[in-house]
A and B are shown apart, each in its own frame.
Chain A
């Protein structure tokens, strides 16, 4: 039998892979529809559907978006993922600015709470200011 901590880590690995392959339908099996997501930008719809919308919006602007898991560890019903993200603004306008061809690479940390095999709550902090600065959308 696989230890519960390893099962929970595997759920987060599937969550990351679904995003990196843009197969967001795979999230339905591992994320609760009424997911509680903290630290999101304002004006984002709640729940799993809101998360999918944000991802598809970023992909439209930065089609090469990839997130690499740098560390994954777990305790109790929580999993911590430390990650780095890279993206190049070659597609649709991003936050009103036309594509610049600029690339951003930033770090972030996510904490997932898992219940009955699904991610039910999510906290994330990332270097969003770094994204804006590296894409030329905010002064350095």
Chain B
């Protein structure tokens, strides 16, 4: 696959995420995708949708700008950030009204225009620090 279509795929992927449009994002995923990074087990699309819904509910003003795209073959890496205000419970943490900014890199393997495998590495440590759950370094 030439790189160009994957660049466009990445832009579309993050347009949906930046607008918190999970119905749109669903059009880019194979239902039986194996997606790693939200917990110990790989998630299918329903699992990814539930995990993202938790983020978007807890951080209703969230934005997810895309900072870099690197593609080769059927894989594309997307470096991005997540920013938002903590307005509702998140992973058992009651709303703090704090603003967070964290970085992440998500890599996906794309077949026939759909994500069939994905790997997310997000800085959850920084997120919990910024929410005040883990002490800030001195």
Chain A residues packing against B (C-beta within 8 Å): 5, 38-39, 41-43, 71, 73-76, 78-80, 82, 107-109, 111, 123, 125-129, 132, 138
Residues of B contacting A109 with CB < 8 Å?
77, 105, 107, 119, 121
User: Which of B73, B125, B137 lies at the interface centre, i.e. has the most chain A CB atoms within 10 A of its CB?
Assistant: B125
B134 sits at the interface (CB 8 A): yes
Distance between Cα atoms of A82 and B107 in the complex (Å): 8
Contact A125 B104 (CB under 8 A): yes
B90 sits at the interface (CB 8 A): no
Contact B121 A126 (CB under 8 A): yes
Contact B72 A5 (CB under 8 A): yes
- B57-83 vs A, Cβ < 8 Å mask (1 yes, 0 no): 000000000001011110101010000
Distance between Cα atoms of A54 and B119 in the complex (Å): 25
Distance between Cα atoms of A42 and B121 in the complex (Å): 19
Residues of B contacting A78 with CB < 8 Å?
68, 70
User: Known: A73-B72, A75-B71, A123-B105. Is A111-B77 also a contact (CB below 8 A)?
Assistant: yes
Contact A80 B70 (CB under 8 A): yes
Residues of A contacting B125 with CB < 8 Å?
128-129, 132
Contact A125 B70 (CB under 8 A): no
